[in-house]
Structure 1
């Protein structure tokens, strides 16, 4: 398997020293940095600008059991959505510490929406038994939280946010993480650290239809694969039922938040008829995997491009205030959602698998942690309960920070002065012929759409694995001429791990719906 270290050593890597390096500048990465001791020197590496993340785009809200809520119901809703294969200890941890997490965000400056009496405005979403979703500025929860975190991080003298950094490899010796090699300002930099946190986000760009930002190509997970860090639940990929349908989309689709259905919007097929009742008694508020498969089935059955979300039971003022972002986006596309149905399709949205971690976000590699979407705590099981992702990043980010605070060795010996390249491929003999990496990227997206999507088939999966293996064999020893080439390599590595995991699981549950193993038709 290709490691970059030997190739970069010849370029005389610049060395930078930190106590903690965090790869990723979304909510998980920033919040973790703020929870660490103020005497630690911290670097937060951002693949692009600090605002280029899924965290900034998160609309629906943040689920939390606060005040007089029944926490047992939150646990039950989470494991029911996750098809009862969740890590129950992790779920209990999430729910029990969710109120403390909300209080922490408020102290950091997050202003959650409240009613006229000053109480939190809480709403329903799919598979929640009671209203427990908190919001910021209606449907701009992620941005509201990020704005507060970014302000705090910029005022923290011990935290350095470094934009436009492409993290490449984990530096390890004897299964101990010593830092990260990255490409920054046209040179290779060794970010040496006592502890590392992977907070690099999801895998959405492996698919052509996704709600994810264009930076989310599974880089952190690919780094973990190359360093033999343990992964888990790689077969579980959530497709959001309602992305705005457009024939003209580039990199990502606009999300129509589940909160719209939580407020009562209805799904209609191409004939204008409601259809969810025949698939699930919870109808539009069934778990996302069920709704996504139902929509996919309706689209195939009618040979149409999309289904429709009907929010016309509400007036303009309510929709504009409650869903300002969605209202504006639809208006820009010629729709008045108080009058017009919204065309929607399922799209890849969230990855429940990733780097396996324990209750303190520790991986199986010493000094390496993972938080957020790239990590697999086991909280989500086979299907994530709506709005549990932001609270997971906060709860387990704080746990990671607490564990690092206890474990970090203030007598750390700087005994690795250069990058250790033992057991890495030699620099000699690199192949340097032309490969169209852009075409490889497009081919992979089409392949993942057709073979690793909402409904899966064993023969298609096996053919997909064969194709991915052939590509990896061809490109593994090539010289990459840009970070985009390396990004494509990461995408293929992660795709291989996902497909292999599906084939090895030999089961059909939740978001991993495999026709041959399923005991149910469609849902």
Structure 2
């Protein structure tokens, strides 16, 4: 029987494992416990055109508009047209989305032309999805689960991925073989000092794919969520709150987004995040405020119970007064380059979810499309594998030439990298604003650090160092402002950069 390894236990990994196990023996590897992933913390919901007053075409148009000219229309059409059926599949798997008057409840989020975002448990959508899928996984007999297991690298033979090198739960190195490996290991929010991402989001899948020679794409595009509580840990304040009527205020209590964009608080995320950053700069770094008091205490507690509890934990009575908010790193549009079936440039290697770059999000992700993308393309990947596509004969040959990007080498006097220092550097150099002089200084500093140690945590930090180097290079090369990538020295969008940037490691073959 063929063997498939799935790396990661968010929605993408769990769906890939469940669907692939219908035909193959599956080993599901996760570096923490099974239920710990970015999915678990998703508040807002999952977008899909499920309602009579909505359409796939409108969802496609909203997604393309948010992507600032770089979303792949054909792949967006796959996402939006297959999304409704996949959401219904989630319901069949036990996800209990919230209802209103006997019908699915839905919310409005930024840059959506219609309310189409489903939620569960008010603002605990990710937890509800994760819980239902973990229950299904536990009840599936053809899946071996390896928790607290770190995937260190991919194993290649004759240019094909044939397995993974791991550190098992006791810290011992082992090798596992497979006919196919599906990366579903999530994003890399831990690149940044301020992030909404959990500690496990260290970009391991993207880093091991890079080292193996896989092509990466759109690395310069990182989305910053506009509203997190201005407290240690940057607790996420869902965009759905603004969709229900909460407004942003400056330090003097004045609403400022109406003068910035016609969508005001529901402008695209990059616009809102930059506007908040600019307002904070004008206030000598003081946070802005999110005012949800007009929604009422009962509504806030029922609709947003997770945020309500967090606000009270931090001492904020958000039903009667505004709460301080600030942007934080949230979602990487870039990742391992894939086609619409999850195939990467390396035979035998698939990628789904945030680790992948399908071309759906372009330069700026539309709110609540991330869970949908994970769901749709994990299902498609499993469907392709069900047709025995292990040979590599139908493997995609990407026609756009990838830039050969040498991994920056540290100098002879390099010192061991400190993760906090790395995160601080990335926040300052490749945060909401970028410019050439700062990027050049960052590139030089990154060469003065080297990885150190052989624990899983050490390997995570080494992965973050590799990814920092390629992200800085990508941000330097894109000399324009587009979507989530803003260059102070190139503030206009340029037709010369109306294309994706693809990268592969020096010495790797196509």
Q: Do Structure 1 and Structure 2 share a fold, with TM-score over 0.5?
A: yes
CA contact (8 A) 2:21 2:142 kept: no
Give the conservation status (yes or no) of the 8 Å contact 1:18–1:191. Answer: no
What are the residue-to-residue correspondences of 1:118-267 with 2, within 5 Å?
A: 118-184=102-168, 185-246=170-231, 249=232, 252-267=233-248
> In structure 1, what is the Cα distance between the partners aligned to 2:70 and 2:299?
38
SS in 2 for 1:449: helix
Cα distance change of structure 1 residues 163 and 90 upon mapping to structure 2, 3 Å threshold: same
CA distance in structure 2 between the aligned counterparts of 1:407 and 1:496, rounded to whole angstroms: 37
Alignment-derived partner of residue 452 in structure 1 = 430
Q: 5+ residue gaps in structure 2?
A: 392-412, 494-510
Counterpart in 2 of 1:14?
A: none
**2:308 paired residue among 312, 327, 342:** 327
* Normalised TM-score (structure 2): 0.90
How far did 1:387 drift? 0.2
Q: Using the alignment, how far apart are the partners of 2:96 and 2:183 within structure 1?
A: 27
Equivalence map 1:313-352=2 (5 Å): 313-352=294-333
In the alignment, the residues of structure 1 paired with residue 483 and residue 415 of structure 2 have an alpha-carbon distance, to the nearest angstrom, of 38
Q: C-alpha offsets along residues 335-373 of structure 1, whole Å, 9 cap, x if unaligned?
A: 121102111000000000000000001001111100000
Moved over 3 A (4+): 433-437
Give the Cα separation in 1 of the matches to 2:390 and 2:427: 46
Q: Equivalent residue of 1:391, what SS?
A: helix
Per the TM alignment, residue 434 of structure 1 is displaced from its structure 2 partner at its CA by: 11
Which residue number in structure 2 is paired with residue 513 of structure 1? 486
TM-fit CA distance, 1:31 = 0.8
Other-structure match for 1:94: 79
Distance of 1:201 and 1:238 partners within structure 2: 14
State how far apart, in whole Å, the 2-side matches of 1:70 and 1:485 are.
47
CA contact (8 A) 2:97 2:121 kept: yes
CA contact (8 A) 1:306 1:344 kept: yes
Alpha-carbon distance in 2 for matches of 1:84, 1:434: 40
C-alpha contact (below 8 Å) 1:299/1:306 kept by paired residues: yes
Contact between 1:457 and 1:515, CA under 8 Å: does it hold in 2? yes
- SS of corresponding position for 2:365: coil
In structure 1, C-alpha distance between the alignment counterparts of 2:458 and 2:88, rounded to whole Å: 43
Instruction: Name 2:461's counterpart in structure 1.
Output: 488
What SS is found at the alignment partner of 1:407? coil
* Cα distance per residue 1:454-497 (max 9 Å; x no partner): 0111110111111112324xx4xx6x232222111110100111
Pair 1:28-2:12 in alignment: yes
Taking the aligned partners of 2:340 and 2:271, their CA distance within structure 1 comes to: 29
Greater shift in the superposed pair: 29-38 or 311-320: 29-38
Q: CA deviation at 1:277?
A: 1.6
Cα distance in structure 1, aligned partners of 2:250 and 2:38: 29
Against the structure 1 CA distance between its residues 363 and 333, is the aligned structure 2 distance closer, same or farther, given a 3 Å change threshold?
same
RMSD: 1.8
Q: Which residue of 2 aligns with 1:360?
A: 341
Q: Distance in 1 between matches of 2:390 and 2:219?
A: 33
Shift of 1:18: 6.8
Secondary structure, aligned partner of 2:227: strand
What's the counterpart of residue 406 of structure 2?
A: none
Equivalent in the alignment of 1:391: 372
What is the aligned counterpart of 2:89 among 104, 109, 113? 104
Cα distance in 2 for partners of 1:34, 1:67 equals 28
SS in 2 for 1:358: coil
Q: Secondary structure at the match of 2:475?
A: helix
